[in-house]
Structures are given as structure tokens and as C-alpha cells.
Amino acid sequence: MRVEFSVWKEAGPWTARKFGPQRLPSCSKSGTRPGGWGRGTWLGTGLEMEFDCEGLRRLLGKYKFRDLTVEELKNVNVFFPHFKYSMDTYVFKDSSQKDLLNFTGTIPVMYQGNTYNIPIRFWILDSHPFAPPICFLKPTANMEISVGKHVDAQGRIYLPYLQNWSHPKSVIVGLIKEMIAKFQEELPLYSLPSSDEARQVDLLAYIAKITEGVSGINSKSWANHENKTVNKVTVVGGGELGIACTLAISAKGIADRLVLLDLSEGTKGATMDLEIFNLPNVEISKDLSASAHSKVVIFTVNSLGSSQSYLDVVQSNVDMFRALVPALGHYSQHSVLLIASQPVEIMTYVTWKLSAFPANRVIGIGCNLDSQRLQYIITNVLKAQTSGKEVWVIGEQGEDKVLTWSGQEVTSHTSEVQLSNRAMELLRVKSQRSWSVGLSVADMVDSIVNNKKKVHSVSTLAKGYYDIDSEVFLSLPCILGISGVSEVIKTTLKEDTVSEKLQSSASSIHGLQLQLKL
């Protein structure tokens, strides 16, 4: 057995285009290999030789659980003896590299009365079998990937079996069986038509779908799909804030199913650790359709561009949301969209416009964390008696936020002014760490999903309040329930100074919104 190394990059060169129902090459007879399914020098086994356990053990010299891996691959060989094994360099999207065992071959898929050989490639991580393999389609030059529920544009395969991988109950043979079953529902590859004219027609049809905010996924099946999950929540973004929200929501036991959409590249984020340690009821995916039928969709993503001006930074976020919001809104048409991306007031407005959701179902995290902290500081740190009054931080995040007592700004009572000033001094030294924002988000999600009718200071459409006549989102005390904002707590006492400050914030925000390209 000879070892030959090659380099394979995680980001495939394929374009995600879906063409009509062209026929793939039919399944070959047992004992023969279908032509045109890829080429190269393969190591290890084939139909013409016995499974080489000792050869595999030598290849897996650096694997942590080599014997367990070899035993499992022996079992794979019993069911799929035509797979070919090799050791190659896998290049992750963050440019890190590892020499990994991988195997390729075809799996038989019955689709619309015909059997097709679907070419696949499995990469076995060095922590196998405690970590799931990385699975890809392996299309040839005359084939195109059909982006769908279980396959992305690079051909990477996403399945519930992978997300829920747990040794020893999860095995590669079981994964392949689920893969076959899922591909029978939605064929992942199509042959390219020989006619350039036909190819162009199909391509234009695909582009037309994209401009309407619909991917190549069969949206009708999603519209008719019955939501059997009682409480499903999706977190969009695998950065620190997305991870913090996921952990906080999971810890509170709010969701029966929690989906984390990791849109980042490579393995720099913490989602890999979540996959390794397998939190209950948490699914990590890059497929937007995994969010379908969520009750709450939480946006934590922020563009990390190199733009110079503040306007350019915000516009790059808008551009990213323009691709995400319509699709996520389509998959969860009755959800509440909760925005934690920055600047939160503007990105909540952008989400509202792009989703076409009613304003009560699009809210930002606003000043909820500041309000909760301030209430705690006054009651538990300063040990002050507030005579049943509640204190709220409203307006916009940052220096222009406004403090109110039971709907009245602190302008009259000396004791309240002194107490507020002291509390605000203590509040200013508290930074908004990702984990603290995550806890605040989880509290809001709890109020929404469980219809608690609890008051939170969140970014909501402020038009019509405090004489604001523009479409801007500002943080106001709101009652949150299953439909989002069910009521805005109105001020009944003196509010001239409050109105002046909020109107100033609204004017500034509205001016920036007018410069954005939605």
C-alpha cells in the first residue's frame, strides 16, 4: 500500500445552480464502478482486494482513537465494499490544515423510479468516532449541485444525524443510510444539459428565483409542512454573541429545539466546540432552511468589513441582512424577529423593512440589559426603597439613553435625582459583554415563547409616541408575548424633556436611515 498526499480545500469551486430534472447515469451492476465519477490514486480497499486493517492503522498513526476508527471502517466495508480510502490534506476555510483519512465512493439513491449513484466523500477527523465526519458530494465536471435543505453550494452535506452525532450510538453506516433516505426525497445533483442554450435558460430561471428572495429549495413543501415542534428558536450567527445566546437559552430550557446558524467560515468560532460536546436539543447548521417554523429568530451577525466610514459599516450590515432576512422570514413566517446586531435601532428598522413583518413582530434588544441592571443596582446594591416605582432606560443605546421612573423622567424629586445619578454611575462601569447580552436575550425569548406578558425595554417602532413622526425604532417599555410587542407602556405624567431627547435621537437615526440602500 502506498501513501499519496493531495491538498483539498474546504471551499469548493462549484456554483449553486439548480437545473431541471436531467437524468444522472443509472446505477451500475454490482461489481463494476460507474464511469465518470471521479479519478485519482486511491489507497486501501476496493472490490478487488480485502480490507487492509494494518494499512489503515499505519495511516491513522496520529489519530487519537485509531483502533475504534479502524473497527468502524471495517463495518463500513461490509456494507459498502467499493469505497476507496486515502490520506489527504484538508484545508479548512480559516486556512488551517490537517492530514485526514477520507474515503470516496457512490451510494445508491432511488429517485422517481430510477436508481442513481451519488458520489460522496467523507473526511474522518482525528477525534473520530467522538466527532462526526465531514461529508461532501463529489460531483464531476458535467454535474451541478442542487442547493437544498441538506446540501450547501460547496456540496457540504448537513443532516440531523451529523448534528446529533454521539458515540457510540452514531456510526458511519447509520449516517449513510440516513443520507440515502434524505437524498431520495431531494436529489442533490443534476446532470448539466448538453445544450448551452438550455443551460442559459435554466440559469436565468434560477437568477429570477434569487431576485424574488427564493432559493432553489422547494418552498412549497415548507409552506405545507406542519410545525410539530412546540418551542423552536433559531440564533443567526456563530460568533461570541450567537454562542452566548445559544448557551443562555439552552441553560434556561426555553426551547424544545434550538438551531444555531453558523454563517462563518472555517473553525475559528466556538460552534465546533458545541458540536463536539453536543448540547441537548441544539442543532448547528449553515442551512437557512434549518430555521423553519421557529417561534423566535435572533439576529446576532455583524459584518466584519474593512469599511472606513460609519455609514459604510452600517451599509455592509444592511447588505448582509438583505440576503438573510427574506429567506429566514420565509421559513418562519409567524415568528418574532429579535435583533441583537449593531447598531440595533437601525438594524431592527432594516429587518422590519426587508421582512415585511408587522412592526410588533420585529423588535431589537434595545435597552433591556441596562434597564434590568439599573433596577438591580437600585434595589439590591443601593438598597433603596422605590415605593413600588419601576425604573426604565429608554431611547437609543449609548450616551443618549434616557432614564425614567414609572414613565416619568427624573426632573422633580431630589431624592430620585440623587438615587438615579448614583445608580447611573454604577451602571456606566458595567460593560456589555457577550455573555451578559446573551442572558438578557434569553430573558426576552422566555417572555415571548412562554407568552409571559412581561415588560421589557426593547426597540420598537416609535412612530406616534412622544410626537415622533418618522419610522424609527427606539427602546420603550413594552409588554412581550407570543406575538412580540402586545402593548407599549405609555407615559401618563410630565414628558416634555423625555420627548425632546427621544425626538433628537429619532431625528439622528432617521437621517442615517435615509442614506442607506435597502
Same domain, 357 and 440: no
Same domain, 309 and 337: yes
Among residues 314, 340, 364, the one where a domain terminates is 364
Q: Is 164 a member of any domain?
A: yes
C-alpha cell at 183: 437524498
CA 298, CA 365: separation in Å to the nearest integer? 10
CATH number of the domain residue 425 falls in = 3.90.110.10
pLDDT in tens, 131-187: 889 899 988 777 888 887 788 777 888 887 886 788 888 999 999 999 999 999 888
Same domain, 357 and 384: no
CA 458, CA 473: separation in Å to the nearest integer? 9
CATH number of the domain residue 125 falls in = 3.10.110.10
Q: For the chain, what is the mean pLDDT?
A: 77
Same domain, 177 and 92: yes
The confidence band for 34, taking pLDDT boundaries of 50, 70 and 90, is: very low
Q: Is 225 a member of any domain?
A: no
Same domain, 290 and 334: yes
First to last CA, the chain: 58
Q: Is 14 a member of any domain?
A: no
Beta strand spans in 237-311 (E):
257-261, 282-285, 296-299
The confidence band for 54, taking pLDDT boundaries of 50, 70 and 90, is: confident
Same domain, 377 and 360: no
Same domain, 329 and 384: no
Which amino acid, residue 466?
Y
Same domain, 397 and 510: yes
Q: Is 39 a member of any domain?
A: no
Q: Is 448 a member of any domain?
A: yes
Do the strands 336-339 and 454-461 form a parallel or antiparallel pair, or are they unpaired? unpaired
- Exposed / middle / buried, residue 137 (Cβ in 10 Å: 0-12, 13-18, 19+): buried
Higher pLDDT pick, 425 / 49: 425
Same domain, 99 and 186: yes
Higher pLDDT pick, 51 / 342: 342
Same domain, 291 and 252: yes
Alpha-carbon torsion (346, 347, 353, 358), positive or negative: negative
Q: What is the residue range of 393's domain? A: 367-514
Among residues 316, 336, 364, the one where a domain terminates is 364
pLDDT in tens, 18-32: 333 333 333 333 333
Count of structural domains within the chain: 3
CA 321, CA 213: separation in Å to the nearest integer? 12
Which amino acid, residue 269?
G
Same domain, 389 and 470: yes
Q: Is 87 a member of any domain?
A: yes
pLDDT of residue 324: 86
Asked if pLDDT for residue 456 goes beyond 90, the answer is yes
CA 68, CA 124: separation in Å to the nearest integer? 12
pLDDT in tens, 274-332: 877 778 889 998 888 889 899 999 999 987 666 678 888 888 888 888 878 887 887 88
CATH number of the domain residue 356 falls in = 3.40.50.720
**Entry pTM:** 0.56
Q: Is 135 a member of any domain?
A: yes
pLDDT in tens, 189-242: 887 665 544 554 554 454 444 444 433 334 334 344 444 447 999 999 988 999
Higher pLDDT pick, 91 / 474: 474
Average pLDDT value for residue range 77-88: 89
Same domain, 59 and 117: yes
Among residues 127, 160, 191, the one where a domain terminates is 191
Q: Is 46 a member of any domain?
A: no
CA 379, CA 356: separation in Å to the nearest integer? 41
Most confident of 27-31, 203-207, 410-414, 451-455: 451-455
